[in-house]
């Protein structure tokens, strides 16, 4: 295929044949399995050998709404960063076999033996190795692409290679701008809107902080970040974690990725709070999530400092105190980003199923208020938040306040 068009299942089969992706006698079957906001994901299986692979194609507009015109070049960005992350974080990222600049699609490893983490968490499954895996992914991909380690001219080349204006604009709008005023594109329950008006939109102090954060997102070219590291971008099975979908990648603040992981664990916690019956299963599951929140921060910090000792190349970064100063700033950004993510998934156009699948409307509204309260505190108190326990204390305090109200 030599001219770009958005493929349907039958076109993908044709594409596989043209590209010789399977043996010539293969009996190919193709289904579209994507339910994300942006792309088309096809699983192609050879029914003779049962071998399968994934073809992901970027369309010219987002699936969630054609208001978002998004350059299909994001597929190049995704394929190129997946290759970099595959090297930096072995075993934690799918293998990309090839990508096609004309058709804006890439061919990658099929991970059907894994489950999308958000779905698994909605089913209240635990993944004891998740924190170990995700903290390694975060440390390796963030620190090892930063000026602390990478030659500065090479790093500037990478900044250029990963300029991603369309997808950054989505984040600037959906994460940092629209949730903090009565934007027509927002999509929220009436009761939540009242709460947002009182607690967020009329708080000029909070608005000022979100303005500072938006500018930090746009200007702090610290590390090659994934850019959309929520639990829908992570595949899991008990012994394996694979991070997918880095099409929002660009050089931005490292805390953006860590903060997204934390916020999305909190959505899972709220889902459990609203949908599980009281008892040992619920407390066991919520205890696991609490530990995951605390350890994601604490293990990230300790792994980051030890990787720093091994890999630092920049002379001034070895001065005593600098590593801790740098890490403190990442944790501060982590808190702020987690706060913005908690607010935007409740108020804005792009929701999370952890919350929208809560059937009981009053419980859903309660969960939404807790998320917004935690989000606000994370943003306002980010300079004092240092440890995993600091994050969890705020979650628990907002949860307790909601139960008393």
Binding residues vs Mg ion (CB under 5 A): 36, 245
Q: What are the DSSP E strand ranges found in 26-137?
A: 28-32, 40-46, 52-57, 96-100, 105-109, 115-116
Distance CA 261, CA 299 (A): 13
Which of 12, 16, 26, 37 binds ligand SR1 (CB under 6 A)? It is 37
The residues near 162 (Cβ < 8 Å, ≥ 6 apart) are 77, 80, 81, 224, 249, 250, 251
Output the smallest distance, CB 68 to ligand SR1, in A. 4
Out of Mg ion, ligand SR1, none, what residue 263 binds, judged by CB under 5 to 8 A for its kind, is none
Q: Measured between alpha carbons, how far is residue 366 from residues 175, 288, 355 in Å?
A: 21, 22, 10
Alpha helices in 9-73 (DSSP H): 9-18
Q: Can residue 372 be called a binding residue for ligand SR1 (CB under 6 A)?
A: no
Q: Would you say 13 or 70 has its CB closer to ligand SR1? A: 70
Q: Which is nearer to Mg ion, 36 or 255 (CB)?
A: 36
The CA distances from residue 272 to 95, 157, 281, 283, 355, in Å, are: 33, 44, 10, 9, 10
Which residue, 345 or 369, has its beta carbon nearer to ligand SR1?
345
Chosen from Mg ion, ligand SR1, none, partner binding at 68 (C-beta under 5 to 8 Å by type): ligand SR1
Q: Which two structure tokens, joined as six digits, stand for 352? A: 């999370």
Q: Per rule CB under 6 A, is residue 68 in the interface with ligand SR1?
A: yes
Distance CA 73, CA 70 (A): 8
Give yes or no for residue 38 binding ligand SR1 (CB under 6 A). yes
37 or 85: CB nearest ligand SR1: 37
Minimum distance from residue 260 beta carbon to ligand SR1 (Å): 9
- Closest CB to ligand SR1: residue number: 37
Half-sphere exposure of 101 (CA within 13 A, CB side): 1
> Which of 245, 273 has the CB closer to Mg ion?
245
Q: Which of 62, 88, 117, 371 binds ligand SR1 (CB under 6 A)?
A: 62
Q: Nearest to residue 391, comparing CAs of 311, 337, 323, 347?
A: 337
The string of DSSP letters for 169-205 reads HHHHHHTTTGGGTT-TT----HHHHHHHIIIIIT-HH
Pick between residue 7 and residue 62 the one whose CB is nearest to ligand SR1: 62
Shortest spacing between CB 248 and Mg ion, in angstroms: 7
Residue in the structure block whose two tokens are 């099409």:
247
Q: How far apart are CA 41 and CA 59, in angstroms?
A: 11
- Told to check if 343 binds ligand SR1 by CB under 6 A, we report no
Q: For residues 308-333, b (16+ Cβ closer than 10 Å) or e, as one string? A: beeebeeeebeeeeebeebbebbbbb
To ligand SR1, the closest distance from the beta carbon of 179 in angstroms equals 11
Q: Does 350 bind ligand SR1 (CB under 6 A)?
A: yes
Stretch that binds ligand SR1, among 61-69, 82-90, 123-131, 310-318 (CB under 6 A): 61-69
User: Contacts with ligand SR1 in 138-197 (CB under 6 A)?
Assistant: 170-171, 174
- Mapping DSSP to helix (H, G, I), strand (E, B) and coil, where does residue 342 land? helix
Comparing CB distances to ligand SR1, the nearer of 166 and 381 is 166
**Smallest Cα–Cα separation from 122: which of 359, 344, 392, 369?**
359
Shortest reach from residue 67's CB to ligand SR1, in Å: 8
3-state secondary structure of 24: coil
Residue number, 245 or 368, with CB nearest to Mg ion:
245
Neighbours of 298 (CB within 10 A): 16
- Per CB under 6 A, contacts with ligand SR1 among 226-255 are 228
Nearer of residues 38 and 150 to ligand SR1, judged by Cβ: 38
Q: How far is the CB of 401 from ligand SR1 (least distance, A)?
A: 28
Question: Contact residues for ligand SR1 (CB under 6 A)?
Answer: 37-38, 62, 64, 68, 170-171, 174, 228, 350
């Amino acid at each position: 295929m030599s001219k770009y068009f958005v493929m349907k299942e039958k076109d993908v089969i044709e594409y596989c044949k043209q590209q010789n992706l399977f043996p010539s006698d293969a009996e190919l079957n193709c289904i579209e399995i994507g339910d994300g906001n942006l792309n088309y994901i096809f699983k192609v299986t050879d029914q003779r050998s049962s071998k399968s692979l994934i073809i992901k194609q970027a369309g010219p507009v987002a699936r969630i709404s054609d208001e978002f015109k998004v350059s299909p070049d994001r597929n190049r960005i995704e394929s190129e960063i997946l290759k970099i992350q595959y090297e930096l974080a072995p075993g934690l990222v799918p293998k990309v076999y090839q990508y096609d600049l004309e058709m804006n699609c890439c061919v990658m490893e099929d991970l059907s033996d894994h489950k999308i983490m958000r779905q698994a968490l909605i089913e209240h499954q635990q993944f004891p190795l998740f924190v170990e895996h995700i903290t390694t992914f975060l440390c390796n991909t963030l620190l090892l692409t930063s000026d602390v380690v990478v030659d500065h001219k090479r790093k500037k080349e990478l900044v250029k290679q990963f300029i991603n204006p369309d997808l950054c604009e989505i984040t600037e709008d959906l994460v940092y701008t629209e949730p903090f005023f009565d934007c027509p594109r927002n999509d929220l329950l009436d009761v939540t809107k009242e709460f947002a008006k009182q607690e967020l939109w009329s708080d000029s102090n909070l608005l000022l902080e979100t303005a500072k954060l938006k500018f930090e997102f746009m200007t702090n070219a610290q590390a090659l970040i994934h850019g959309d590291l929520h639990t829908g971008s992570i595949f899991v099975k008990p012994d394996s974690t694979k991070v997918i979908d880095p099409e929002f990648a660009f050089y931005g603040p490292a805390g953006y990725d860590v903060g997204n992981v934390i916020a999305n664990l909190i959505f899972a916690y709220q889902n459990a709070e609203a949908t599980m019956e009281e008892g040992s299963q619920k407390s066991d599951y919520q205890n696991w999530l609490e530990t995951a929140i605390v350890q994601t921060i604490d293990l990230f910090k300790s792994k980051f400092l030890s990787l720093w000792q091994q890999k630092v190349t920049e002379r001034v970064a070895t001065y005593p105190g600098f590593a801790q100063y740098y890490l403190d700033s990442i944790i501060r950004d982590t808190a702020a980003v987690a706060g913005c993510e908690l607010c935007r998934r409740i108020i804005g156009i792009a929701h999370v199923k952890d919350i929208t699948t809560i059937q009981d409307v009053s419980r859903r509204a309660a969960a939404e208020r807790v998320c917004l309260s935690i989000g606000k505190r994370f943003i306002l108190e980010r300079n004092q938040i240092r440890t995993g326990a600091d994050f969890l204390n705020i979650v628990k305090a907002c949860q307790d306040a909601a139960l008393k109200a």
